[in-house]
Amino acid sequence: MRKGIVLLIVCLSVALVAIIRFAPSSPNTGHAPWRDGFASRTATILFVGDMMFDRTILAMSMEEGGDYLFSCIADYVRGFDLAVGNLEGPITGYPSMSWMTVPGDLGNTTFTFPTSTASLLARSGIDAVSLANNHIFDFGRQGVESTREHLPAAGVRYFGDPLDVRRKSALFDVNGLTVAIAGFNEFLGVDSVSTTVSEIGALRADADFVIVFSHWGEEYVPVVDRQRAAAHAFIEAGADAVIGAHPHVIQESEVYKGKQIYYSLGNFIFDQYWNEGVRKGLVLEAHLKDRSVSFVPRMVSSSRTSGPCLLPTGDNQGEIFDKGL
């Protein structure tokens, strides 16, 4: 009896060694082990469009308080694991040049945001911002450096730094998922499609998801050819999605090689009200699970007396864009 038990143990041990030795190894995907099936993770990210805190937005915040700008939507924004938007200018201690101006006046499109803007963003649920835009140098290098000081002090991260190639992108740990967001700035001569393609390739080794947040195109018109070419190049380089801003109107979206492209989210906080195209924008919910990401666009609308508010689900974004803008 004892010999039989010993023999059984020996046989089981040999079988276990054989299983371990000859079992196929998991391929080196460059991703965390859970992505090979050991666990399942989910996360939500909210992307919003252009945010500008000068000119009549500054006047509104001075009259009502800064939190008033987000009062209609802050609870919604804070409900996401990560919320990201484009910061359309620098945060500095300089006085505004555009306040009380009208289009055509000197300084009307030269922006600076109060130093309280960083903490306002944090309180309102915005966790990270892109500096990759055409207004970040409005107050020169000093304005960029000031922005880079105030944002982290308030707990807001940034990417798309025009002064530091090491900060063109940022890695975020979102519920155990590593999400890389790369900023692409078509303007100011600080980025190119080829350098962003290279950045995407490098990020793939460390990230579960790579998303490009682009500032590009022409204002108030449909997608132009160079936007489409750049977006396709980013997807071909390995981006999981491409999201755009700058045109101040919602532009079309498309699926390319199975990946989603949103060419322009339009305005989020901006003092453009002359028609529906600029008053309305998209906020984009990204739902991440395992190896997949899906998107839910929601419409927001602003007015001269309020910041962005969510519109009822079902508003047709395709009817908002007006080629006659």
Encode pLDDT of 133-182 as tens digits.
999 999 999 999 999 999 999 999 999 999 998 999 999 999 999 999 99
Per-residue model confidence (pLDDT) at position 315: 58
For residue 206 the two structure tokens come to: 């460390």
Residue 160: which of 126, 124, 196 has the closest Cα?
Answer: 196
Residue 145: which of 75, 219, 90 has the closest Cα?
Answer: 90
Q: Indicate left, alpha or beta for 175 from its phi (over 0: left) and psi (-120 to 50: alpha).
A: left
Encode pLDDT of 239-270 as tens digits.
999 999 999 999 999 999 999 999 999 999 99
For CA atoms 200, 81, 259, 232, give the dihedral sign.
negative
How many percent of the chain have pLDDT more than 90?
A: 82
For residue 165 the two structure tokens come to: 């190639």
**Residues 6 or more apart in contact with residue 198 via CB below 8 angstroms:** none
Cβ distance 220 to 190 under 8 Å?
no
Per-residue model confidence (pLDDT) at position 4: 46
Report the alpha-carbon distance of residue 278 to residue 301 in Å, rounded: 9
Of 313 and 14, the structure prediction assigns the larger pLDDT to 313
- Strand pairing partners for 98? none
pTM, full prediction = 0.86
Classify each residue of 223-233 as buried b or exposed e, where b means 16 or more C-beta atoms within 10 Å of its C-beta: beeebbebbbb
Q: What is the rounded end-to-end Cα distance, in angstroms, of the chain?
A: 91
Cβ distance 88 to 52 under 8 Å?
yes
Measured at the CA of 168, the angle between CA 48 and CA 204, to 5 degrees, comes to 90
The full length of the chain comes to 325
Q: What is the DSSP letter of 70?
A: G
Residue type, 2: R
**pLDDT at residue 293 above 60?**
yes
Cβ distance 185 to 211 under 8 Å?
no
> How does DSSP assign 164-190, residue by residue?
-GGGSEEEEEETTEEEEEEEEE-STTS
Report the alpha-carbon distance of residue 263 to residue 280 in Å, rounded: 15
* Overall average pLDDT of the 19-30 stretch: 33
Taking the domains of the chain in order of start, what are their residue ranges?
38-317
For residue 262 the two structure tokens come to: 């949103």
Report the alpha-carbon distance of residue 86 to residue 128 in Å, rounded: 9
CATH fold label, 38-317: Purple Acid Phosphatase; chain A, domain 2 (3.60.21)
